[in-house]
Structure formats: structure tokens, C-alpha cells
């Protein structure tokens, strides 16, 4: 992922220091636009210049796809990237309801999350770990609107449509969530495979083609040979480039693989587009360390389950994913800033 290292260097060289627009967040240096393109036919874009917790990426994506907005599933699976946001949201709701800060520690809070504790009284209705109307709500649970199902059905029924979009930016709900969406717009776009590319996907002997009136394209359709590459453009309005982007690049690529598989298409090019693309000032030493490292060859990701419907996607678990040939440099520890402290 040389493109990612080049982006880090570009921010260091050309980024402008700014105050954060969020309370209790450190200053950043950043740029206003960035693009990384990843051809999934060349490997799975999981960073190798630091060790990545790939199972956490899978769990978070499955959490989004299931429409979940409570962190219990993540915590139960040792994925802790949302803990700070959930705790900060709890403290805000508690103060709004009772007029004072909760003295509960984050450790006590997470114990209540694991127990599934609910507060239900006249002042507050809340289950520990709730995040409000975050990604899962917008993807799956807007009343009468399942965006994931709509994309799947659209790709199957009208693949050339330009409406295959999942959008998390609902202006009506921005004050009702712990964190406003960062990766907010996903657009899926098809490209037809050539006849030669389709033939190369066959697993049978093509010498059966003998008659002059044989319609090869129709035959390939009949035996379910894919007709399209599926590409994905994702726009991310705000990017913690050191910690967040490394997750986002792999997550959007895995989402592309899942949607391509259920649509009988070939996962093509994932294009990530960053808006406010920044590095937190305290992360700069870690960034400089990572830039010194030489990337290893990309790994391969496999989904070892047949996908025919949205229900099949919702039943996916971590054991259905196989990462092959992943080699990386050691991890680089850095604080994930969530606004709990400056």
C-alpha cells in the first residue's frame, strides 16, 4: 500500500495545522482532498507496514450490515474502537436527563454493556452501549428504507443504474448519534467484462462450442459466469489518517467483495476519497516510524460461504472469512481520540 504511505508523507509535507472543530480533541495537520485506488484483483488492501487487527475490521463491518447500534457485539468480540464514543454518548445523555455528570468510570460502563443493562424510567430510556443513529441505523433501519437491501436488489435487477448508493449523512439525525458519520457515501458501479474475460472464468472445457449458431454469451449467462466487475467509490468527510483510514480502506474493500459476491460479480476497483484528511499532532512520531517501513506483498481475502440473499450476509461470522498470506511489520500503538480528554 505505497499509496497510503505517500498520503501520510504528503500530509507531513503539505498539511496545514488546524484546531479541531470537536471539543477535547487535539490539533491536526491535514489536507482537503485525497484519493487512493485499490484494484482488488491485485490483492486485499490490508496494510502491511503495521500489523492490523483484521478480525476487528470484519466484526465492525458485520455490525454495520446487521444494522446494530449498540457496542455489545463488538465488546464481546474484543473490538474496542467504539468504546470511547459510546461512553461519551452515555455521559451526555445522562447529563441531559439528570443535569449532572455521571461518576461511572469507563470500566464500570463496559461491565454494564456486557450485561446488557437497560435504564428505563421517566427521565431516561437507554441500554448501555447504545450509540444513537449511527451507521447501522442509516444503512438498515431508516423507516421503510433498507439501503443495503436496495443496493443488492438494484444490482441484480438493473445493474447499469447509477443509484446504487448507501448514504449515512441524514441531516435530520445528526444530533441523535454519538459520532456523526465519517465514511458517509458509498456508490457501487458496474463495468462489463469482455467476452474473453468471461471465458477465462469458466471451469469447463470450452471446446464444447461447435455449432455456428451457438450463442456464447447466453451460454455463459446460463452457467452463471459473471458479466460485470463491481467498483466502489467511497467518500469520507473526515479522516484520522493514521488510525482510521487504515481500517476504512480494508473495510470498504471487504464490503465491495461481499456485495460483488452476492451479485455474482467480480470485485473490481475500490476508490477511497478523503475530505478533511488529517493526522493528529500526537500521532506524528508514529507516522514517521511507519513511513520508514517497506510494504510486504498484499494478502488475499476469501469469503468461504455462498451468498444468495441478504439473510446469508446477516448470518456471516468471523469463521467465514479467511486471510491468506498476510505478512506485516509490528503494530504501532497510538491513542484513539474520541473527545473524552484533550
Cell 469482455 appears where? 194
DSSP bridge pairs for 118: 127
The answer on pLDDT for 302 being more than 90 is yes
Q: Determine the Cα–Cα distance for residues 237 and 246; give it in Å rounded to an integer.
A: 15
Other C-beta atoms lying within 10 Å of the C-beta of residue 252: 22
What would the 3-class secondary structure string for 93-122 be?
Answer: HHHHHHCCCCCCCHHHHHHHHHHCCEEECC
pLDDT for 143 equals 86
Nearest Cα neighbor of 182 from 255, 277, 306, 254 is 277
Active site residue 177: no
Catalytic option among 74, 182, 220, 266: 182
Give 103's contacts (C-beta < 8 A, 6+ positions apart). none
Residue 30 has, within 13 A of its CA and on its CB side, a CA count of 23
Question: What are 113-165's pLDDT values in tens digits?
Answer: 999 999 998 888 999 999 999 999 999 998 889 999 999 999 999 999 999 99
DSSP bridge pairs for 320: none
Q: Residue 112 corresponds to which cell in the numbers above? A: 454494564
Quote the percentage of the chain above a pLDDT of 90.
Answer: 87
Bridge-based pairing of strands 266-280 and 28-31 is antiparallel
What's the whole-model pTM score?
A: 0.95
Hey, what domains does the chain have and what are their CATH numbers?
A: 2-69+132-324 (3.30.572.10), 70-131 (no CATH)
- The Cα-based distances of 173 to 22, 136, 140, 324 in angstroms read 18, 13, 14, 40
Cα-atom radius of gyration of the chain, to the nearest Å?
22
The mean pLDDT of the chain is 94
Q: Determine the Cα–Cα distance for residues 96 and 150; give it in Å rounded to an integer.
A: 36
DSSP bridge pairs for 183: 236
Amino acid at each position: 500500500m505505497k499509496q497510503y504511505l505517500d498520503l501520510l508523507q504528503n500530509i507531513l509535507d503539505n498539511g496545514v495545522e488546524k484546531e479541531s472543530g470537536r471539543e477535547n480533541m487535539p490539533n491536526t495537520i491535514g489536507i482537503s482532498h485525497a484519493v487512493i485506488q485499490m484494484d482488488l484483483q491485485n490483492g486485499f488492501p490490508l496494510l502491511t507496514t503495521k500489523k492490523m487487527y483484521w478480525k476487528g475490521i470484519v466484526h465492525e463491518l458485520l455490525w454495520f450490515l446487521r444494522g446494530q447500534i449498540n457496542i455489545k457485539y463488538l465488546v464481546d468480540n474484543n473490538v474496542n474502537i467504539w468504546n470511547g464514543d459510546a461512553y461519551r454518548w452515555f455521559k451526555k445523555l445522562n447529563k441531559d436527563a439528570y443535569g449532572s455528570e455521571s461518576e461511572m468510570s469507563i470500566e464500570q460502563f463496559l461491565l454494564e454493556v456486557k450485561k446488557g443493562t437497560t435504564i428505563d424510567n421517566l427521565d431516561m430510556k437507554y441500554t448501555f452501549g447504545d450509540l444513537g443513529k449511527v451507521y447501522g441505523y442509516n444503512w438498515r433501519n431508516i423507516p421503510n428504507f433498507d439501503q443495503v437491501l436496495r443496493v443488492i436488489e438494484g444490482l441484480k435487477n438493473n445493474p447499469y443504474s447509477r443509484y446504487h448508493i448507501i448514504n449515512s449523512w441524514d441531516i435530520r439525525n445528526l444530533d441523535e448519534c454519538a459520532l456523526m458519520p465519517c465514511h458517509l457515501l458509498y456508490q457501487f458501479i458496474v463495468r462489463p467484462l469482455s467476452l474473453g474475460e468471461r471465458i477465462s472464468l469458466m471451469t469447463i472445457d470450452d471446446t464444447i462450442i461447435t455449432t455456428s449458431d451457438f450463442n456464447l454469451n447466453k451460454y455463459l449467462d446460463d452457467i452463471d459466469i459473471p458479466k460485470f466487475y463491481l467498483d466502489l467509490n467511497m467518500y469520507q468527510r473526515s479522516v484520522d489518517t493514521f488510525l482510521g483510514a487504515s481500517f476504512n480502506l480494508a473495510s470498504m474493500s471487504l464490503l465491495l467483495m461481499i456485495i460483488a459476491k452476492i451479485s455474482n460479480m467480480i470485485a473490481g476497483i475500490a476508490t477511497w476519497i478523503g475530505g478533511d484528511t488529517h493526522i493528529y499532532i500526537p500521532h506524528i512520531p508514529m507516522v514517521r516510524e511507519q513511513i520508514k517501513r517497506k510494504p510486504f506483498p498484499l494478502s488475499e481475502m476469501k469469503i468461504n460461504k455462498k451468498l444468495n440473499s441478504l439473510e446469508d450476509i446477516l448470518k456471516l461470522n468471523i469463521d467465514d472469512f479467511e486471510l491468506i498470506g498476510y505478512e506485516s511489520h509490528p503494530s504501532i500503538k497510538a491513542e484513539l481520540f474520541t473527545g473524552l480528554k484533550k
